[in-house]
Amino acid sequence: MHIQANYPITHLNTFNLVTKTRYYVEVTRQSDIPVLRSDLKLASLPWVIMGDGSNILFTHDIEGVLIRCSYDKIKVVKEDQDGIWLSVGAGANWHDLVAYTVKNNWWGLENLAYIPGTVGAAPVQNIGAYGAEARDTITRVQALNLYDGHRIEFRNTECNFGYRTSIFKQEHKNRLLVHRVTFRLRKLHSGQANLVYEPLKNYLQDKDKSSLTPQDVFDAVIALRKARLPDPKFLGNAGSFFQNPIVSAEYFEQMTKEHGEIPNHKMLGGDYKIPAAWLIEKSGAKGLRHGRAAVSEKHALVLVNLGGAKGEEIVELSRLVQEEVMHKFGIHLEPEVNIL
Ligand SMILES: Cc1cc2nc3c(=O)[nH]c(=O)nc-3n(C[C@H](O)[C@H](O)[C@H](O)COP(=O)(O)OP(=O)(O)OC[C@H]3O[C@@H](n4cnc5c(N)ncnc54)[C@H](O)[C@@H]3O)c2cc1C
């Protein structure tokens, strides 16, 4: 366990915001929590959980305890003829885990390649991309109660997974620290490529679908992502800033009458999900700037730090984008990024 006081976290957020925390703590095991809680100074402060800071926007210094799980072991907990069950520490790097599973020819995580962050944040956010979500492969999540250190285990159906959300992001936010996540993956012969996402299918169209491997999909996803998203190493960002809004069938129909054809994804219940990037672009907000923050020229859903921006500047820019979209389409864009 490591405890640091007045710790700079500029390197721990992909917006590259200059910020610090009163205390920064890295825990690995269950027994670390009661030890930390017995420190009256730490116990009296608010505790905030973070992973790699790739979906957090810091608007001020943290006047409390920033806690991160750095347990990163990968263990095979079960195997049968068709599948593998992996238990992975929350502090493991997500993309490294995906690369490891792909190297072993296991299906399940390849569509989620190249997403920054930790394994622990994957169930919290129910990360998703290219036609897959973390909930498709997660079987169990083990979490530690930050008040008493007790271990609690959730089955997939108990995680209340939703679009970029879960029980850990809602009622248990900053109370339960995800410690281990179990994934069920398929062996090469018992799985197949998930090509429901059209651009991925198109990218791989020259290949015979039945002979595709997890590596083929992994490589394709990385190539597509690199072409579409600004790299936080050069231009600070947190990926999609807003969620794709969901509107009723009636409202969608009204919109198409007014604006013509609209890209959409029809949901099971009959509602429509509309790409927020399209709404931003059509409302004229792509490329909008506010101080040292801007809407990316590369992808309208990404807000970027042009260099030296403050968190508040990015929040204000996000409000301007919300206003433009509300004005043009009457739709409120909900941030996907966790604003602190
Ligand atoms: C360039 C770029 C592209 C991206 N693309 C995608 C994408 O395609 N799909 C997608 O879904 N996301 C995407 N993201 C967002 C981000 O990568 C994910 O949300 C990721 O899961 C965040 O991981 P993290 O470890 O950085 O979490 P953080 O940003 O540090 O934290 C995110 C939230 O999770 C909570 N949290 C983190 N770890 C734990 C834990 N162990 N226990 C409990 N709570 C925890 C935090 O409190 C916070 O609320 C992208 C981000 C960037 C910068």
Three state DSSP letters for the chain = CEEEEEEECHHHCCCCCCCEEEEEEEECCCCHHHHHHCCHHHHCCCEEECCCCCCEECCCCEEEEEEEECCCCEEEEEECCCEEEEEEECCCEHHHHHHHHHHCCCECCHHHCCCCCECCHHHHHCCEECCEEHHHCEEEEEEEECCCCCEEEEEHHHCCCECCECCCCCCCCCCEEEEEEEEEEECHHHCCCCCCCHHHHHHCCCCCHHHCCHHHHHHHHHHHHHHHCCCCCCCECCCECECCCEECHHHHHHHHHHHCCCCCEECCCCCEECCHHHHHHHCCCCCCEECCEEECCCCCCEEEECCCCCHHHHHHHHHHHHHHHHHHHCCCCCECCEEC
pLDDT 10s digits, 226-248: 998 889 989 999 999 999 999 99
Phi, psi torsion values for 176, nearest 5 degrees: -110, 125
Alpha-carbon distances, residue 63 vs 36, 53, 218, 304 (angstroms): 17, 17, 40, 25
Task: Look at residue 332 in the predicted model and tell me its pLDDT.
Answer: 96
Residue 209 and residue 258 in one domain: no
| Sign of the alpha-carbon torsion through 36, 39, 43, 45 | negative
User: For residue 26, what pLDDT band results from cuts at 50, 70 and 90?
Assistant: very high
Task: Look at residue 298 in the predicted model and tell me its pLDDT.
Answer: 86
Asked whether residue 287 carries a pLDDT value surpassing 90, the answer given is: no
Last residue of a domain, one of 193, 228, 263: 228
Which residue range forms the structural domain that includes residue 58?
2-69
In the chain, what's the furthest Cα-to-Cα distance? 62
Q: Give yes or no for residue 204 CB within 6 A of ligand 1.
A: no
The answer to whether residue 291 sits within a structural domain is: yes
Residue 89 and residue 194 in one domain: yes
Q: Which residue has its alpha carbon closest to ligand 1 atom 24?
A: 117
The answer to whether residue 58 sits within a structural domain is: yes
Best residue among 12, 47, 48, 50 to mutate for probing ligand 1, ranked by most atoms within 8 Å of CB:
50
Residue 26 and residue 82 in one domain: no
Q: Which atom of ligand 1 is nearest to the CA of 90?
A: 41
Asked whether residue 249 carries a pLDDT value surpassing 90, the answer given is: yes
Q: Which residue has its alpha carbon closest to ligand 1 atom 48?
A: 50
Supply the CATH number for residue 320's domain.
3.90.78.10
The answer to whether residue 235 sits within a structural domain is: no
CB 205 within 8 A of CB 267: no
Task: Look at residue 210 in the predicted model and tell me its pLDDT.
Answer: 86
Residue 188 and residue 302 in one domain: no
Residue 109 and residue 193 in one domain: yes
Determine the distance separating the centroid of ligand 1 and the alpha carbon of 147, expressed in angstroms. 23
Residue 255 and residue 285 in one domain: yes
Q: Give yes or no for residue 239 CB within 6 A of ligand 1.
A: yes
Last residue of a domain, one of 159, 193, 228: 228
Determine the distance separating the centroid of ligand 1 and the alpha carbon of 126, expressed in angstroms. 9
Q: Give yes or no for residue 177 CB within 6 A of ligand 1.
A: yes
Residue 134 and residue 171 in one domain: yes
Determine the distance separating the centroid of ligand 1 and the alpha carbon of 191, expressed in angstroms. 27
User: For residue 2, what pLDDT band results from cuts at 50, 70 and 90?
Assistant: confident
Residue 304 and residue 190 in one domain: no
pLDDT 10s digits, 152-174: 999 999 999 999 999 999 999 99
Best residue among 124, 145, 169, 224 to mutate for probing ligand 1, ranked by most atoms within 8 Å of CB:
124
Predicted structure pTM score = 0.93
The answer to whether residue 241 sits within a structural domain is: no
Residues 83-103 have a mean pLDDT of 98
Residue 82 and residue 210 in one domain: yes
Task: Look at residue 144 in the predicted model and tell me its pLDDT.
Answer: 97
Determine the distance separating the centroid of ligand 1 and the alpha carbon of 169, expressed in angstroms. 11
Task: Look at residue 118 in the predicted model and tell me its pLDDT.
Answer: 98
The answer to whether residue 239 sits within a structural domain is: no
* Tally of structural domains, the chain: 3
User: For residue 268, what pLDDT band results from cuts at 50, 70 and 90?
Assistant: confident
The answer to whether residue 40 sits within a structural domain is: yes
Q: Which atom of ligand 1 is nearest to the CA of 56?
A: 29
Best residue among 15, 21, 26, 54 to mutate for probing ligand 1, ranked by most atoms within 8 Å of CB:
54
Strands 128-129 and 83-89: unpaired
Supply the CATH number for residue 124's domain.
3.30.465.10
Residues 44-71 have a mean pLDDT of 96
CB 25 within 8 A of CB 67: yes
Determine the distance separating the centroid of ligand 1 and the alpha carbon of 252, expressed in angstroms. 30
Alpha-carbon span 149 to 153, nearest angstrom: 13
Residue 176 and residue 270 in one domain: no
- Range picked from 27-31, 139-143, 232-236 for highest mean pLDDT: 139-143
Residue in 186, 224, 188 with CA at minimum distance from that of residue 203 = 224
Task: Say how many Å lie between the first and final Cα of the chain, rounded.
Answer: 25
Residue 116 and residue 38 in one domain: no
CB 253 within 8 A of CB 222: no
Supply the CATH number for residue 34's domain.
3.30.43.10
The answer to whether residue 240 sits within a structural domain is: no
Which are the catalytic amino acids? 164, 240, 336
The answer to whether residue 109 sits within a structural domain is: yes
Q: Give yes or no for residue 125 CB within 6 A of ligand 1.
A: yes
Task: Name residue, tokens 């790699």.
Answer: 52
Last residue of a domain, one of 200, 228, 256: 228
Q: Give yes or no for residue 178 CB within 6 A of ligand 1.
A: yes
Residue 218 and residue 298 in one domain: no
